Amino acid sequence: MTSSHGSRPYARADEIKRLMLRGAPFTAELTRLYTDLRLAARYADLLKIYRLLLTFAPDGMENELAHPAVAQAFMARGEYDRAEEITKTLLAQNPGEPEAKKLKLSLQTRRETQIPPYTPLAALSKYAEKHSSGRTPSGPVPRAWTRAAERLTSQKLAEIHYFSAKALLARAPKARRAALEKCFDELALNYLFDNRRAVAALSGAFLEMLLAVYLQSKLKLKKITPPGGKRKDAAELSLYELIAFCAEKRLLPQHILRLGRVARMQRNFIHPGKELTGGCPLTPAAARVCWLAALELTDALLTPAKRAAKRAD
């Protein structure tokens, strides 16, 4: 984004400031500016402008600068207390404001799912204690686990093309390589152990990560608009959106797109309810599709000769 584009929001903020100081209506223009910055995910700029306007706001006008986009920006930056203040202000002004109600629920969920800093784990779980108060029962290692451990050989890894894929991942951008390799290793280990639910979930995570890295690092696409969706950072897109974008732009062969879609659908079957109610459980074939999708995408995106051939086409 050029510097002229970068300065445009601040020019608009100056106009809002002039309107505010003259006592003229400014809410509509402010909302347009906040909304534009939120859609572009420019949360840092949004908060800078919000704080700038706060310094010029006449007494009693501070609450008029509140907006759901400001609360969302604070949330995106991890400033949950400030986000909560803005949300409370909005709900006090209009208890039925739908965006503010959603933000309140989102904040509540975040607080309930985050462990406060410095919380002793022993206060959360008795199993976190170093010494058990009673005798801990023991028994044999489950046979299924020992059989799975027997598969951890160099030959088995070679048979599932692990080493070939790892050699390709070594070509990934250095800043993202460690994260990709860690996710791939977890996927490979669970595939060998026949942990099908883990394979379905991890393959989706790996496909998402690899596609986002490819679009950002190789194609230099920082912001992406998926078909029928809003413009976002590539790392914020779902696997469905990433595949749809690649299909629309013809970035991948059809057989890889199909494999990716089938692998994505396997995540629907990781819920225990599917198996308990007699639905379709995850099968070895489904886990294999997930693994193959990871291999095929790695091969397609990180093999230099194939990328060069695709560009020539």
Where do the structural domains in the chain lie, given as residue ranges? Answer: 3-113, 149-312
CB 213 within 8 A of CB 242: no
Model confidence at 98, pLDDT cuts 50, 70, 90, reads confident
How many of the other CB atoms lie within 10 Å of CB of 187? 25
> Residue 223: phi, psi to the nearest 5?
-110, 135
- Report helix, strand or coil for 224: strand
CB 187 within 8 A of CB 203: yes
> Residue 177: is its pLDDT beyond 50?
yes
Ranges 53-62, 112-121, 153-162: which has the least confidence? 112-121
DSSP designation for 218? I
Rounded (10°) CA dihedral 12, 1, 250, 205:
-90
Model confidence at 212, pLDDT cuts 50, 70, 90, reads very high
Q: What is the pLDDT of residue 2?
A: 37
Contacts 24+ apart (CB under 8 A), 93-100: 93/63, 93/66, 97/68, 99/68, 100/68, 100/71
Q: Which residue type sits at 288? A: R
Ranges 6-20, 98-112, 244-258, 265-279: which has the least confidence? 265-279
Q: What is the pLDDT of residue 279?
A: 63
Model confidence at 270, pLDDT cuts 50, 70, 90, reads confident
Q: Mean per-residue pLDDT for 44-66?
A: 88
Alpha-carbon separation of residue 109 from 26, 65, 115 (angstroms): 33, 25, 12
* H helices present in the chain, as ranges: 3-22, 27-39, 43-56, 68-76, 80-93, 98-113, 143-149, 154-159, 162-169, 174-192, 196-213, 239-248, 254-265, 272-276, 284-302, 304-312
Alpha carbon distance 93, 99 (integer Å): 13
How much is the pTM?
Answer: 0.63
Rounded (10°) CA dihedral 156, 159, 161, 162:
0
> Residue 241: is its pLDDT beyond 60?
yes
- Report the DSSP beta bridge partners of residue 223: 233
Model confidence at 206, pLDDT cuts 50, 70, 90, reads very high
- Report helix, strand or coil for 38: helix
Alpha carbon distance 12, 207 (integer Å): 40
Q: What DSSP line would sit under 223-237, residue for residue?
A: EE--TTS--EEGGGS
Query: Sign of torsion, CA 260 261 265 266?
Result: negative
Q: What is the pLDDT of residue 1?
A: 36
Q: What is the pLDDT of residue 216?
A: 87
Q: Mean per-residue pLDDT for 38-49?
A: 86
> Residue 182: is its pLDDT beyond 90?
yes
Q: What is the mean pLDDT of the chain?
A: 85
> Residue 308: is its pLDDT beyond 50?
no
Q: Mean per-residue pLDDT for 61-81?
A: 87
Q: Mean per-residue pLDDT for 249-274?
A: 87
CATH 1.25.40 fits 3-113, yes or no: yes
> Residue 237: is its pLDDT beyond 80?
yes
Model confidence at 7, pLDDT cuts 50, 70, 90, reads low
Q: Extract the tokens encoding 96.
A: 């039925």
- Report helix, strand or coil for 247: helix
Q: Which residue has the higher pLDDT, 133 or 113?
A: 113
Alpha carbon distance 205, 187 (integer Å): 9
> Residue 238: is its pLDDT beyond 80?
yes
Q: Extract the tokens encoding 2.
A: 């050029």
Alpha carbon distance 175, 255 (integer Å): 29
> Residue 271: phi, psi to the nearest 5?
-75, 130
Q: Mean per-residue pLDDT for 33-48?
A: 87
- Report helix, strand or coil for 216: helix
DSSP designation for 121? G
